[in-house]
Each structure stands twice: as C-alpha cells, then as structure tokens.
C-alpha cells in the first residue's frame, strides 16, 4: 500500500501541513461522546484486546452492560492495574487515543505523570554533581504525580456512558478477592525483588514471606480496593484530595519524597490534538508530544514513502527499515520534550522536506554510522508498560498505552492506600549527557522542571481508511515505536491481525549504534549479510513487547483481534447481540 504513496506526495504535503497546524495546541473541549446508534444495521462486532484475560473480560462485561468503548477501556485499564502491578496502575499514567464514530473525530488524553513542584533540573545530583541513580529510580523520590486516576474520572465524565462505580467494579473486586500469581508475574518480579524487599508494605503485598510467590499464590490488595472505591464514588477528588491524598502525602514524605497537597490537587489531564497524517485515503492517527511515538512513527512512514520497500528482499528491506528508524530516533533525541515547556518543531519534523532530506543520506549499500548524523544521544523511558485496544458496536475506538515505568515502578507502595508508585521521573534527563536506568542519555529538552511531563515512547495508534480500521500499540520502552512501526507495516501489506502481534522484531534507536533483535528474528545468513553492510547486531536474548491489536474490515463488517503470543493476554470479539 505504501508503495503507491509515491504518486501522492503533493496530497501528503498538503495534508501534513493542515493536520500539523492542529497538532501544535492543546484543547479543553468536552463535547459529549456519541449517542448510541438505534440503527442495528449499522452495528459492528465489538472487541477487546489486552495483556491479561481478566482485564479483557472486564471490558467485555462492560460492553454487554451497555457501555461504550471508553467505558470498556476504563474497566480494562483499571483491571490491568490490579492484576498486572508490574505494568501499570493508578500510581502511574498513560496516553489515551479515542475515536468518536458519530463525529468522525479523534481525541488524545494526556494522563502522563508530572514532576512535583519541589523538583528542579538538578534534582537527582549529589554534592559532586553526579546522578544519584538510586534516588532516581527507587522509592517515592522517583515518582511523578500519578495521572491514571484523573484519566479515569475525566474519561468517564466526558466520554463514557456508565458511572465509575460500574466501570471500576471489576477491578475493585479483583483487588479485594485477589488474583493468582502466574509465571509472567514471577518473571517480572525477579527484576525488582531486592528493591521491593526494601519497602515493607510492597513486600507484604507482592511477595510471599519476602520471596517470589509460588504459582497460584493469591495476591490480595484490600487497601487498593478501598482507594479504587473512593475514586469510583468521588471521582477526581476521591484520589487527589481527602483521606487518600492525605495518606499518600504522609507516606511519600516519610520515605523521602517531596510531594505537596497542591501537587495532587492541581493535577489535571490535558486534551491534545492527536497527530493526524493523510496518505491518500489512509489516515494515520497517533500520539503527539510529550510522546515521541507519533512523530517518530510518521517520520519513518514518510521516509518509506520514497521506496517500494515491500518488493525488497529480506536483508535490503531490514537495512532500509533500520536506516529510517535510526534517523527518526535521532530527531527524537534532539527535539522532543513536553510541548508545554519546550518548543517542539512538529511541522518541520513531519514535513515531506524533512523526510526527503533524510532519504538523501541513506545508502542502500552500507549502514550509516549514527555519530555521522550528529545530534544528541537518545533517551527513553521504562521497558514495562501495557496496552489495550477496544472497539464497540458503534465503531468507536480506544487505543491506550499505560505505564509505571520499570517493573513494579518505584517498588514503593504507600501504606493504607495500596497505591504502588511509578518511577517515571527517571524518564527525564536527570543530567543532560548522563545515562538513565537503561544506559540511555537525554538532553535539555527533557530536563526536569516543576509540573513538567517526561518524554515518553508510548505510541497508541489508529490507522483508518474507508475500507479498514486498525487499532494497535504495545509496551516496550524505547522499542515501542519500532514495534508499532513494524506492526503497522504488516497491516499495510494486508496481513492478518495475528501477524502484526507475532512478527519477529528488531530495533534501532540511533544510539547505541546497533540493531537489537529477538533471538529468532534473523537467520545465520541474514545476520552475516547485515554485518557485511556494516550493521552491528545485538541479540537481546528474549522476546519483547506485548502488542494488542484489533482490525475492522468495513467492507465485510468483520472484526478480528489478537493478543501478543509473547504475553498472557487475551483478545476476544463480541458478536452482535
């Protein structure tokens, strides 16, 4: 499909210019969500895809109860925060991309965490000017002000049809009754075991006698159930003010954090215009800053627009995809940050001229050394996150990516609340030029400032056309963007949704200058050929990512959904009633 785009560059330039004018501003328009269709002939099968079967079922139950896609997404996200405590939760934040079928309109809800007012550019530097890595990633000092509770309240109030008391009910029950430990839980817990042991409340909840629990052990979170209940009954104030907020502040300060009552009370989500780029009849809709994902994804597609890439053999195609990744990630490192604090040149980055200039530097016969492109070293966020995709019977869609950064976030749970806090402050550049928890380096555009939102790679995406609509996204830190890119290319080649989520993965992020890949992505001959082109290869030693995707074929009114086979997720299509 993209090969034909070469004939449409004039249209692309016009469309990019128009849509990017919209992307530069935030909005606070709270138009009512769609009115349910009474025309049963226009109804389509609904579907939910998420990283855990219990969360998927929670969403399906809400759809069956008359909820719309937003209601279902709230139920899924809340459940994931309970049964996937290593991935997300009300102690974290995320990005929500919504599509209103009745208005043919997209909305983007930025529920990213914010730096507390006490934070500043040198917040994590010691007396010698060195980054205190422990303080930046462990305990409440590493936590930004959570955005997830505000997202639930905002989405329910403005775009849902059911009250939070109903959409959060499944998560509340799961927190109170408990869920069974599985091997995935045990695996992620291994990354943060020693840190969880440092905080008695976290150890009490998530460990079994201070050790990794056995498969089948029940994790119960009654305090979290109470906090979710307060949020369900009182909305925003149930978390950010009153008894829950007071307990959070007491525990955060007692353990070395710097939150204030105003930090919590003043937190609000921001509605931003999503990035929208038209390629003929095809529209790509994705995340704007402070996500870097949408810009990088569209830049890569713009560069591919200059090639008939589908016809290339495996090695030249991998080489080309690597080179466009390299250049998009280079721009990510140089220019991106919170648009409310940093001027992000969105129009320049997504213009056809930028793609054309980058393409001139691509040599199909050899790899480009990243440092020859100059610019900043890259920085990115956490490697464990979660994603959900939902479509309802009216064709309304939600693509949401949620995170607490590292597995189990900061590893700190505020006693009396059940809230496991994020460590998203490490997504800032603690010191420009110094590496974060992943050995990656940031720049001034992403320096810490009070109230600022850290740069993210979360890339919830919808690809829409008169014939089909695709909803996709994934966790995976810096690899999120390349995974969504590769998944989107599968869709653009007409492959089934199962192929998007299961295709072998590789990644290049400008620096370190190497192709990272899953163990079985390349054959021995392909590895040798890529190395002959000058690429360094790094087998990461494990599968990565956990994509959740939905495809609606409008011509046949058929919906298909798939959960990444690398995870424990479940995707299910709900037939028409």
The one catalytic residue in 114, 342, 378, 385 is 385
Q: What's the angle, vertex CA 576, arms to CA 574 and CA 577, rounded to 5?
A: 105
Q: Give the Cα separation of 452 and 458 in Å (integer).
A: 17
Q: How many residues does the chain have?
A: 577
- Collapse the DSSP code of 197 into the 3-class scheme (helix H, G, I; strand E, B; otherwise coil) and give the result: helix
355 to each of 183, 228, 267, 322, 521, how far by Cα in Å? Answer: 44, 46, 37, 15, 27
Q: Give the Cα separation of 208 and 213 in Å (integer).
A: 5
441 forms beta bridges with: 435
CA proximity to 148, closest of 80, 196, 249: 80
Does 457 show up as a binding residue in the annotation?
yes
Q: What is the Cβ-side half-sphere exposure of residue 188, based on CA atoms within 13 angstroms?
A: 23
The DSSP bridge pattern shows strands 26-27 and 506-507 to be: unpaired
229 is catalytic: no
Does 499 show up as a binding residue in the annotation?
no
Contact present, 480 and 385 (Cβ < 8 Å): yes
CA proximity to 232, closest of 356, 189, 211, 224: 224
Contact present, 145 and 114 (Cβ < 8 Å): yes
Q: Give the Cα separation of 66 and 277 in Å (integer).
A: 33
249: which 2 tokens?
Answer: 């502040």
Q: Give the Cα separation of 232 and 236 in Å (integer).
A: 9
CA proximity to 294, closest of 544, 452, 473, 88: 473
Does 477 show up as a binding residue in the annotation?
yes
Q: Give the Cα separation of 299 and 306 in Å (integer).
A: 12
128 exposure class (CB count in 10 Å sphere: 0-12, 13-18, 19+):
exposed
CA proximity to 240, closest of 255, 222, 227: 227
The residue written with tokens 């109170």 in the block is 176
Does 482 show up as a binding residue in the annotation?
no
The residue written with tokens 């080489």 in the block is 319
Does 456 show up as a binding residue in the annotation?
yes
Contact present, 397 and 69 (Cβ < 8 Å): yes
Q: Hey, CA dihedral for 115, 346, 96, 570, is it positive or negative?
A: negative
477 forms beta bridges with: none
Does 6 show up as a binding residue in the annotation?
no
Numbered residues of the known binding site: 112, 403-405, 427, 456-457, 477
Q: Which residues are catalytic?
A: 385
Numbered residues of the known binding site for L-glutamate: 112, 403-405, 427, 456-457, 477
């Amino acid at each position: 499909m993209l090969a034909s785009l070469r004939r449409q560059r004039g249209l692309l330039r016009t469309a990019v210019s128009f849509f990017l004018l919209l992307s530069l501003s935030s909005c606070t328009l709270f138009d009512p969500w769609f009115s349910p269709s009474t025309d049963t002939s226009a109804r389509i099968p609904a579907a939910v895809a998420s990283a855990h079967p219990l969360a998927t079922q929670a969403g399906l139950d809400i759809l069956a109860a008359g909820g719309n896609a937003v209601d279902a997404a709230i139920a899924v996200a809340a459940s994931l925060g309970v049964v996937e405590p290593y991935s997300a939760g009300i102690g974290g934040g995320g990005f929500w991309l919504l599509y209103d079928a009745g208005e043919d309109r997209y909305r983007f809800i930025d529920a990213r965490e914010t730096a507390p007012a006490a934070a500043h550019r040198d917040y994590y530097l010691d007396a010698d000017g060195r980054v205190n890595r422990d303080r930046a990633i462990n305990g409440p000092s590493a936590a930004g002000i959570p955005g997830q509770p505000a997202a639930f309240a905002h989405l329910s109030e403005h775009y849902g049809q059911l009250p939070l008391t109903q959409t959060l009910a499944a998560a509340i029950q799961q927190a109170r009754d408990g869920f069974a430990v599985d091997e995935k839980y045990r695996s992620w817990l291994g990354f943060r075991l020693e840190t969880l042991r440092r905080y008695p409340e976290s150890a009490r909840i998530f460990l079994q006698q201070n050790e990794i629990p056995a498969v089948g052990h029940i994790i119960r979170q009654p305090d979290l159930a109470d906090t979710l209940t307060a949020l369900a009954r009182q909305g925003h104030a149930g978390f950010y003010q009153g008894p829950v907020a007071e307990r959070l502040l007491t525990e955060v300060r007692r353990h070395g954090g710097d939150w204030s009552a105003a930090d919590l009370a003043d937190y609000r989500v921001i509605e931003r215009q999503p990035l929208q780029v038209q390629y003929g009849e095809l529209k790509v809709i994705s995340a704007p800053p402070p996500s870097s994902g949408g810009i990088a994804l569209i830049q890569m597609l713009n560069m591919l627009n200059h090639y008939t890439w589908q016809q290339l053999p495996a090695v030249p195609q991998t080489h080309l995809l690597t080179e466009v990744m390299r250049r998009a990630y280079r721009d990510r490192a140089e220019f991106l940050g919170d648009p409310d604090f940093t001027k992000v040149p969105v129009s320049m980055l997504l213009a056809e001229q930028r793609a054309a200039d980058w393409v001139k530097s691509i040599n199909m016969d050899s790899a480009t050394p990243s440092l020859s492109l100059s610019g900043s070293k890259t920085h990115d966020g956490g490697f464990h996150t979660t994603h959900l995709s939902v479509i309802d019977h009216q064709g309304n869609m939600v693509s949401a990516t949620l995170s607490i950064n590292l597995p189990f976030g900061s590893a700190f749970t505020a006693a009396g609340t059940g809230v496991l806090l994020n460590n998203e402050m490490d997504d800032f550049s603690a010191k420009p030029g110094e590496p974060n928890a992943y050995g990656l380096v940031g720049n001034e555009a992403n320096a810490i400032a009070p109230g600022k939102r850290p740069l993210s790679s979360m890339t919830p995406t919808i690809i829409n056309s008169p014939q089909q609509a695709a909803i996709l996204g994934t966790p995976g830190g810096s690899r999120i963007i390349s995974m969504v890119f590769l998944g989107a290319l599968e869709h653009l080649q007409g492959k089934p949704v199962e192929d998007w989520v299961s295709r072998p993965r590789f990644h290049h992020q400008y620096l370190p200058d190497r192709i990272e890949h899953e163990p079985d992505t390349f054959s021995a001959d392909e590895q040798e050929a890529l190395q002959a082109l000058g690429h360094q290869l790094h087998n990461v030693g494990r599968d990565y990512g956990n994509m959740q995707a939905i495809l609606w074929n409008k011509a046949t009114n058929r919906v298909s959904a798939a959960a990444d086979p690398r995870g424990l997720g479940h995707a299910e299509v709900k037939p028409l009633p």
